[in-house]
Amino acid sequence: MGNRFMGTISFFNEGIGFELKGKRVLRKWVQEVLEKEGATPGDINFIFCGDETLHAINQEYLGHDTLTDIVTFDLGEDENITADIYVSIERVKENARELGVPFREELHRVMIHGILHLLGYEDKSPTARKKMRIREDECLKLLENK
């Protein structure tokens, strides 16, 4: 890999009692996705929180008065992918229940959704959402093989 910068992928909780399982595998997975996209991982922080925290962030920084499952802040000032990614565990649980999928699957989809946004994938139009969903599915398949 030469002189490529390898940042750290970290996981934090903010105001909730949540324990992420399989951190080592998830770190390797995120790194693999970034590398397959030709990106260099910088420091990426996943911050798991509740609806209240993420709602406040959504209002303050994006001007959206809605609940959401994820807010991604691109902090990169160079070619390295550097970000803070906030994930509402309450929203992910609710989404998983509504979609009839396991919590961990939905959590992993939301996590990689944030990474894909950092890589330039969008979800504002139906076509873009479809492209994003296909790429999420491809990324989730990579994780199944770990």
Spatial contact of 83 and 118, defined as CB atoms under 8 Å apart:
yes
Q: Is residue 72 part of a domain?
A: yes
Spatial contact of 96 and 106, defined as CB atoms under 8 Å apart:
yes
Give the CATH number for residue 122: 3.40.390.30
Q: What is the CA radius of gyration of the chain?
A: 15
DSSP tag of 100: T
Q: Is residue 1 part of a domain?
A: no
Which domain covers residue 103, as residue numbers? 9-144
> Which pLDDT score, from 0 to 100, does residue 80 have?
87
> Which pLDDT score, from 0 to 100, does residue 5 have?
52
Residues in the chain: 146
> Which pLDDT score, from 0 to 100, does residue 78 have?
77
Average pLDDT along the chain:
92
Q: Is residue 68 part of a domain?
A: yes
Q: Is residue 75 part of a domain?
A: yes
Q: Is residue 22 part of a domain?
A: yes
- C-alpha distance across the termini of the chain, in Å: 21
What is the C-alpha to C-alpha distance for residues 20 and 11, in angstroms, rounded to an integer? 8
Percent of the chain at pLDDT > 90 equals: 85
Q: Is residue 129 part of a domain?
A: yes
pTM of the model: 0.92
pLDDT digits (tens, 9 = 90+) for 62-114: 999 999 999 999 998 777 899 999 999 999 999 999 999 999 999 999 999 99
> Which pLDDT score, from 0 to 100, does residue 3 have?
43
> Which pLDDT score, from 0 to 100, does residue 79 have?
79
> Which pLDDT score, from 0 to 100, does residue 127 have?
96
> Which pLDDT score, from 0 to 100, does residue 41 have?
86
**Predicted confidence band of residue 7 (pLDDT cuts 50, 70, 90):** confident
Q: In total, how many domains does the chain have?
A: 1
Q: Is residue 121 part of a domain?
A: yes
Q: Is residue 34 part of a domain?
A: yes
